[in-house]
Amino acid sequence: MRGKRRTGRQNVPIVSPNRPDALAVVVAARNEADRIGETVAALREAFPAAAIWVADDASTDGTSEAAMTAGAQVVSRGRPHGKGANVTAAAEAALDGGEPEVVLLCDGDLGSSAGALAPLVAAVETGECDLAVAAFGRRVGGGFGLALGFARWSIRRLCGFEAGAPISGQRALRPEVLHATLPFASGYGMEIGMTVDAVRAGYRVGEYELDLSHRATGRTLAGFVHRGQQLLDFGSAYVARR
């Protein structure tokens, strides 16, 4: 086990930055028009002075418009590029105007629970770790664990880190860690690649169990197709770093 820390939310001091440019938030989204507004609103309440960017992967349901209405800046392109490439573009845009002290990455389907991400920012600000990852306190949906198991095995095999939440998209990190992990691995391999690259570069990774909720995929045809694509992307990230 290397650099791993697991703790409850109640044990983490919450230090919400109130100075402009202290925190940049990058939200990954594709066809989340029904949730992105609530997610951005919760982030704005938790981090009043943060710059919030939405990485919209060519949504077709009005996600960009909903995000802008909620007060976020949007990075979107004409065709889907996958999560890793789109979040890379938004993260680079967020860094263009000057480097914040902390960068927070999260998914657009968190809704009101996005406000619970403050402990991740606090963990990085106070020096507990360089990359803080959220583990969901409650598991909802999911398949048979094959994709998750492969993700854990890949990270352990590649860098020795025992990840409890290997594919969580909720992460806070220092700008230097972001630079060391960009560009992100393609598609859903983004989080595996980020963890491996950060650990190999000597940065400390911590995991924190938080009370979060998201749009879960169940044991349906669409759910299995989604996890199949995840496995392909996980495999690509693994092979690229082997």
Q: What is the CATH number of the domain that holds 215?
A: 3.90.550.10
Residue 131 located in a structural domain: yes
Residue 74 CA to residue 237 CA, distance in Å, equals: 26
The letter for the amino acid at 84 is G
Please indicate, yes or no, if residue 119 is contained in any of the structural domains.
Answer: yes
Q: Which domain, by its residues, includes 94?
A: 6-241
- Domain membership flag for residue 50: yes
Q: Confirm whether 160 is domain-assigned.
A: yes
pLDDT per residue as tens, the chain (242 positions): 344 444 433 344 444 445 657 999 999 999 999 999 999 999 999 999 999 999 999 999 999 999 999 999 999 988 989 999 999 999 999 999 789 999 999 999 999 999 999 999 999 999 999 999 999 976 655 555 788 999 999 999 999 999 999 999 999 999 999 999 999 999 999 999 999 999 999 999 999 999 998 776 655 666 657 677 889 999 999 999 99
Q: Is 128 part of any domain?
A: yes
CB burial of 23-50 (b: ≥16 within 10 Å; e: otherwise) equals: bbbbbbbbbbbebbbbbbbbbbebbeeb
Domain for residue 1, yes or no?
Answer: no
In a domain, 70, yes or no: yes
162 inside domain: yes
Q: How many domains does the chain have?
A: 1
